[in-house]
Amino acid sequence: MPLDPHPVNSLGFAKPASETRVVVAMSGGVDSSVVAAKLAEDGYDVVGVTLQLYDHGAALAKKGACCAGRDIHDARRVAEEMGFPHYVLDYETIFKDAVIDEFAESYLAGATPVPCIRCNERVKFKDLLETARDLDADCMATGHYIQRKMGENGAELHCAADAARDQSYFLFSTTNEQLEFLRFPLGHLASKSETRELAAKYGLPVADKPDSQDICFVPDGDYASVIEKLHPGAADPGDIVDMAGKVLGQHRGVIHYTVGQRRGLGIGGLEEPLYVVKLDPDTRRVVVGPKKALSTRIVPVREINWLGDVAFASRAEWHLDVKIRSTRPPRAAIVRPISETEAEVELVVPEEGVSPGQACVFYAPEGGRIYGGGWIWRGK
């Protein structure tokens, strides 16, 4: 049998790197910059793309936000340094319609949304991915810390090698079709320090740039001001009540509170600490109760994206680990499908602070494979 004249390259294509075009989603941060620089050094036909997601002029002086004016400038400098083309695409309208508006509406409905997931799902891995195809790219690469591995039935999503940097919670809605086209070159690295060492090695101007911490369109962490700007009057005051409906005090707007919150309630002098257990935007009530009232075992989940090898509803139940907050480790659960996109998740050990609007991400009990997940939509 003759030898294959074109061995598979590091991105999985049976052709030379120079004939493999890869669009790199560049936020201007160190992670995506290292991805672009490494692929360029390896000889790939790299095209850098940065999205303008909101009025970057207004955000220019704000630190800690992605995709602002400073970041666009930094991404362009990296492209110039490494010698590949770079484009800035105006996605401001798409981003507002697909992410910001829903973020505000979810908060107004008493939920705790995760806009970064919607951005990946509806903007970066949808519209930007289609743009990459229009540019005749073979694949699109990002700086996310997650791994794409080939299994018996195609590409699989796996946790990053560095558990402290793993971003699987924010990428559970990646579809199988998208996964075929995506690449995550940093997922195998043991630590963030390796990424910064690579940035220094390539002489990148962002080698020492701090990581972004906040939601990009809320760089100062003041969610309420963003919501009030979109929905004037959203912060109308109301009652803080206990679980029996007794009024304990007044609040300054439901949008200022989240389920599980203890501090800043302004109702001191009680026998035991009280926590926010429910938000009722219709009556403008913040319901508080003891910590035990936050304990939840049954979690309803919908809009499920399933990444398993057989149909989700083909089994009565799945024994998986689930993560219900980005900052919490996966915990054992029984996932019972109601349909292909809806399920009841029973936590083996009840958890506190389960909140509508958060994601519930499914993991294999061993091995780090991600089986997708869905959205928590109401508490019981």
Please give the positions annotated as active site.
119, 216
CA 33 to each of CA 80, 89, 207, 294: distance values in angstroms, whole numbers, following the listed order: 12, 17, 9, 42
Q: What is the CA radius of gyration of the chain?
A: 22
Pair 234, 253: CB distance under 8 Å: yes
Q: In what order do the strands lie in the sheet with 275-280?
A: 247-251, 238-241, 285-289, 275-280
Question: First and final CA of the chain: distance in angstroms?
Answer: 63
The residue among 71, 75, 70, 68 whose CA lies nearest residue 95 is 68
Name the pairing type of β-strands 247-251 and 154-159: unpaired
Phi, psi of 109 (to 5 degrees): -90, 5
Pair 235, 228: CB distance under 8 Å: yes
Burial of 61 (C-beta count, 10 Å sphere; 0-12/13-18/19+): exposed
Pair 173, 117: CB distance under 8 Å: yes
